[in-house]
Amino acid sequence: RGGGGGATPPYPASPGGREGLFGHADRGSGDDASGGNDPHSFWDKTFGAGGAAANGSKPPSALSPAPSDWSAKERASRGIPLDGGGYYDADGPVIRRGANGATNGASGRARRHLGFDARQSFGSKAANGEGFNPENLVDPTVLQEAVRQYNSSGGNTPNSRPDSGRVAPGLGPPNGPMPLGVNQNGGPGHRRRASELSEQDYDRAGPQPGNYPPHRVGGMWDTMASQVSEYAPLGDPSPLSADMSRLGLRDPADIAESLARDGPALSWKLDPMADNADPDSPPERQKEYIDETEMDESTHGGSRYYGDDSQSLRAHDDEIATRKDQLWRLSSSYLVSDVPSIQRSLVQHVEYTLARRRYKFDRGSFYQATAHSVRDRLIERWTDTQQFYASRDGKRMYYLSLEFLVGRSMGNAVSNLGLRGAYAEALRQLGYDLEDIMSQEKEPALGNGGLGRLASCFLDTLATLNYPAWGYGIRYKYGMFEQRLVNGKQVEFPDYWLTYGNPWEVERLDVKYLVRLYGEVNTYQDEQTGETRFRWEGGEVVVAVAYDTPIPGYGTYNTNNMRLWSSKPSHEFDLTSFNAGDYYGAVEAKERCESITSVLYPSDDTDSGKVLRLKQQFFFVSATLQDVLRRYKKRIVPGRTLKNLPEKVAIQLNDTHPSISIPELMRLLLDDEMLPWDEAWDITTRTFGYTNHTILPEALEKWQVPMMEELLPRHMQIIYEINHRFLQQVEDRWPGDNEKMRAMSIIEESTPKMVRMAHLAMVGSHVVNGVAEIHTRLVKSRLFPEFDQMFPGRIKNVTNGVTPRRWILQANPAMAGIFTSILGPGWVNDLRRLATLKPFAHDDTFQHSWNEAKRLNKERLALWVKANMGVDLMTNAIYDMQVKRIHEYKRQLLNVLGIVHRYAVIAGSTPEQRARMLPRVCVIAGKAAPGYEVAKKIIQLACAVSKAVNNDVRCAGVLQVVFIPNFNVSLAELIIPASDVSQHISTAGMEASGTGNMKFVMNGGLIVGTADGANIEIARAVGEDNLFCFGATADEVAALRNTMKSRLPVNDERLQRSVRMIRSGVFGNPDDFSQLMDNIEPANDYYLIAHDFPGYLDALDVADAAYLHQPSWTARTIRAACSMWEFSSDRTIKEYAEKVWQMEPLPFKPPHHQDGGGGSMGGGGRRGPSFNGRGSRAGYDGAR
């Protein structure tokens, strides 16, 4: 249902003119002044007001403590303890209360939620009322008064209001309603029973803007019992109470009791799309998009076999239709996801999938079982989504990345499916804790740093925004490495992340491609055209085997795919060599092939390491392009050829690593598909887009020509031809300009000659993008200035972003609970809504809640550090953090020198002076590349300083330093929410964007940083006074470097003292750190550490002074966190779709429930419906 016509919403507007501020969004007609079908138009108009209320005054403060005299019913509706110790969970599972007042736990008391997880119930951390309840931020008396005033003005209809242009559309996902079974707050929420909401109730609720059907996100559908009743005193004869009565909503206390007794109803029972939904069955699986050619035994090569006459053809089609209906009927609906069904699934997987005893308390087994149970529900959506994409024949995007730093999958999956609360309760009743179970997951070692994490953020967003997209990469056996600290030094160990398997992936032994290496190129004459053709033959053949991982979207049924390739030998075992006694030779080829996908970024200090890196890159792009072409050719219809490939396929290269795919696609089109050069080149350039992530020379890969000629002989021929034709264009543009030719040539004229892969990507792509405004400017002016002149408009900017699903909702449940309790869950898919909270930045109660969330996050980190490192961290201190890949340009050394200076000041102070100092906890984390000795020395120095500081009694209560080893996504989710200050202090012009800066600010931390990367845009978004900036600018850096050997050095006594302390052995053997100290001498200070040191200390002092004024500091962090919508990956992906891929989303929704038939099987099991002719053919003419 949805579309057209205005209606009076059955709920009040928010106070203060800020529609939707507390979850009640006015919903007008599709053509009202709010912007019609555009769910973002309201926010675009509203934000221009600078966060003020509609009438220009400050919104009335509805944020005050909950009254102490609330009745038991009111307390029950708010998640406050009920008599006898039970309570109703406002954001998640119900903790049941028996007749005697005891909960269903053996101890008879309400269960504490570990990890302060607001996605289940932040407000219900303890049954005795400990902790803080974000739902109690709202004073119902103030809100009710505002509602009365609003209603008395006669303005309850959007179009009758003087500021109707500011009416908010429904707080749902930007692309449509929440699907069945999904709750956007990450848990089951308040799920009403079928008897409590009828179809007529939905009809009376009125249509939504545009074509939105009534949905349960951000309004009151998903949290009906709380979001409606929560904001008005119960029993008050207000319009709100009348609306509750009119909609047939029961008293909240009754709802709590009903749910406590019967368990939460399945959210699919609230499906507003269902015409005649069976109240005891989940939604049906799709059937209309099934590819019947896959069912046809007489299908050969994609062409169907037809009988001799129409009668046999009709009989054949009827047989296929009957078989299709039969197979569909056997699994016609989605898996039921109530608590008993989940428990049955868990036990079945323990016993049948794992063949283990269900009675043995084993967290490892139940993690595996839980993962398989969740994966079952992912695969349903995954297969249906892919069939839907194929049926719609829309354009698809393929994201090629050498890294995918996905993090743990279970938490993300259950949140995106809306099943976190259901799984938590199912496991709790079996004696397990969901957080404990999730901690059993070994994080996949598929990436190193920001590049891989960005790729994973993009995959999450692509699915959430319903774009048809796949990610392609490598399934590394050992990943990069596991970092351990041995005697304060980094030592690399293999990361055995696959020891116990990976339950989230599906091994595709039927999806294999041959990848050739080495060999020779032979020519032959094309018999049809007489043209000379090339054939690559001989050499070594490796088999690429696919492993698929479903990537679920949040608030949608769409589930995309990440396909990773594993290398296998074409011949598993040489029996002849084995029988001859050559046992190692018998498996040599196998080991050589499998080594291709063993380790991420093998050291390239040796020639063999360089060869292995190039093998990796070519292996994965060759398998990927073969797979992409196979899928495209499978869907070729009359009138469509390979010339139309760019209309249906977009390929995005994530950095320079996959750029060898350009000559590989040319090879496939020229040698396999027999296309002429010009046609193949046109297809290639219109298909590829290239994202440049750095201007650092070492990251802009170059390969030796002799090495490429040996390993990839055919590709070297193609690269030569590409370069020859391109340089002819350069000559035509700038006749006789040899400098231009030399600068733009793909082949670098050096000894030996080198292939410049970034140049190849630039020439072979139709769009090249930078990842921050300053980075894109530098790409145009420094990296590719000649290309920018030759191809004006080809280089564009798309600033990076991160997914709020992972980095707020999952990483920071305390803060997410605050947002959800006030705004409803719709903010997760639209961070612009957080801007409505900025007027409350100075509200005392809101600040108290905000600071409590920060305190809990600090305590959570401190507990982990104590358990894993043996250090007791202060929690009443400012948390100062720098966590990222260790590199000289990221200037962790600058941070360490600053800590040494602080240590010197503390050591030289009196006890009275130290008592007045601001306590500080410094956290550093990150990995150094195995062959990067300078970076490893920085880690060693940081560990030495940490040891000295933490063991000096003078620093007790004033300064602590920890270097956290083996930094990964899971640790980032723990560290980032605890930060007060984060350091992003790279030498200006060297950091392309950075995404850690975005994550820290989203989580309520402020930045000390340089004018580099995305820092500049973040400062503009959050206010320059909320970013403590220092150092030389990108334009100044080049001049400073040119004069560093001749200009007067910076003579800062604080820096000199820090250097003297290091050189004198205060932190261990000074010879270990002599190279680091030499590198910051005036003539060697390439990264401007000494130059920027005074400004760096000044910026830290300004931040410390601001932190001492806590109300002002808290207001800064609130405003900053609520101003970060531009740095959501949702915005980034939409820009890519518009600027680069030219593609539209394809939201998948399951078919409606059908009338009649079957009922439920086994008390809410799978449905066995009557088809009523649904599966039969309506005659041959209607079948095709």
Rounded to an integer, the average pLDDT of 317-330 is 80
Between the alpha carbon of residue 230 and those of residues 96, 145, 202, 233, 827, the distances in Å are: 20, 14, 21, 8, 19
1164 contacts 336 by C-beta, under 8 angstroms: yes
Euclidean distance between CA atoms 326 and 329, whole angstroms: 5
Burial-class residue 944 by CB neighbours within 10 Å (0-12, 13-18, 19+).
Answer: buried
Rounded to an integer, the average pLDDT of 106-116 is 33
970 contacts 443 by C-beta, under 8 angstroms: yes
pLDDT band at 280 (very low <50, low <70, confident <90, very high): low
Euclidean distance between CA atoms 772 and 778, whole angstroms: 10
Per cent of the chain over pLDDT 70 is 70
Euclidean distance between CA atoms 920 and 933, whole angstroms: 29
Q: Give me the pLDDT at residue 1050, please.
A: 75
What does the DSSP assignment read for 14-66? PGGG-TTTTS------TTSTTTTT-TTHHHHHHGGGTT--TTSSPPP--B-PP
Q: Give me the pLDDT at residue 1029, please.
A: 97
pLDDT one-digit tens code per residue, 837-868: 999 999 999 999 999 999 999 999 999 999 99
Q: Looking at 69-78, 499-508, 753-762, 1145-1154, which range is the least confident one?
A: 69-78
Answer with the residue of higher pLDDT: 328 or 1161: 328
Q: Give me the pLDDT at residue 296, please.
A: 61
pLDDT band at 214 (very low <50, low <70, confident <90, very high): very low
Q: Give me the pLDDT at residue 264, please.
A: 35
pLDDT band at 1152 (very low <50, low <70, confident <90, very high): low
pLDDT above 80: residue 1135: yes
Helices and strands in the chain: count of H runs, count of E runs: 42, 22
Rounded to an integer, the average pLDDT of 457-466 is 98
3-state secondary structure of 485: strand
Q: Give me the pLDDT at residue 8, please.
A: 35
Determine if the peptide bond prior to 233 is cis (ω within 30°).
Answer: no
Q: Give me the pLDDT at residue 903, please.
A: 97
Give the dihedral of Cα atoms 1148, 1153, 1157, 1160; nearest 10 deg. Answer: 90
pLDDT band at 90 (very low <50, low <70, confident <90, very high): very low
Q: Looking at 122-131, 605-614, 653-662, 695-704, which range is the least confident one?
A: 122-131
- The CA-to-CA distance between both ends of the chain, in Å, stands at 29
pLDDT above 50: residue 413: yes
pLDDT one-digit tens code per residue, 443-454: 998 988 889 999
pLDDT above 50: residue 276: no
957 contacts 1089 by C-beta, under 8 angstroms: no
Euclidean distance between CA atoms 393 and 491, whole angstroms: 50
Closest to 286 (Cα-Cα) out of 392, 418, 394, 387: 387
374 contacts 410 by C-beta, under 8 angstroms: yes
Rounded to an integer, the average pLDDT of 354-382 is 92
765 contacts 722 by C-beta, under 8 angstroms: no
pLDDT band at 360 (very low <50, low <70, confident <90, very high): confident
What does the DSSP assignment read for 888-926? GGGTHHHHHHHHHHHHHHHHTS-HHHHHTSPPEEEEEE-
Q: Give me the pLDDT at residue 529, please.
A: 83
Euclidean distance between CA atoms 1131 and 468, whole angstroms: 17
Euclidean distance between CA atoms 967 and 1169, whole angstroms: 51
Q: Looking at 582-591, 1027-1036, 1053-1062, which range is the least confident one?
A: 582-591
Is the Cα torsion angle 519, 520, 525, 526 positive or negative in sign? positive
Euclidean distance between CA atoms 683 and 671, whole angstroms: 15
Euclidean distance between CA atoms 853 and 131, whole angstroms: 9
pLDDT above 90: residue 107: no
DSSP state, 502? Answer: -
Q: Which two tokens stand for residue 478?
A: 């050992």
Euclidean distance between CA atoms 743 and 752, whole angstroms: 17
pLDDT one-digit tens code per residue, 135-182: 344 444 544 454 455 345 443 333 333 333 322 333 333 333 333 333
Total residue count of the chain as it appears in this document: 1184
Closest to 426 (Cα-Cα) out of 370, 503, 356, 491: 370
pLDDT band at 312 (very low <50, low <70, confident <90, very high): confident
pLDDT one-digit tens code per residue, 970-1010: 999 999 999 999 999 999 999 999 999 999 999 999 999 99
The amino acid occupying position 779 is V
Q: Which two tokens stand for residue 282?
A: 């989940």
Answer with the residue of higher pLDDT: 587 or 711: 711
Q: Give me the pLDDT at residue 102, please.
A: 37
Q: Looking at 952-961, 1038-1047, 1118-1127, which range is the least confident one?
A: 1038-1047
pLDDT above 90: residue 1153: no
- Whole-prediction pTM value? 0.77
DSSP state, 966? Answer: S
Residues noted as catalytic: 693, 884-885, 890, 995, 999
Between the alpha carbon of residue 1110 and those of residues 131, 217, 817, 1106, 1116, the distances in Å are: 20, 35, 22, 8, 10
Mean pLDDT score of the chain, rounded to an integer? 77
Q: Which two tokens stand for residue 421?
A: 């609360």
pLDDT one-digit tens code per residue, 1093-1130: 999 999 999 999 999 999 999 999 999 999 999 999 99
Q: Give me the pLDDT at residue 573, please.
A: 59
pLDDT band at 576 (very low <50, low <70, confident <90, very high): low
Q: Looking at 15-24, 345-354, 573-582, 717-726, which range is the least confident one?
A: 15-24
Q: Which two tokens stand for residue 972?
A: 């980032």
Rounded to an integer, the average pLDDT of 510-529 is 93
Q: Give me the pLDDT at residue 1000, please.
A: 98
Per cent of the chain over pLDDT 90 is 61
2 contacts 207 by C-beta, under 8 angstroms: yes
Spatial strand order in the sheet of 506-517: 506-517, 540-552, 559-569, 469-474, 396-400, 649-654, 688-691, 767-770, 795-797
pLDDT band at 582 (very low <50, low <70, confident <90, very high): low
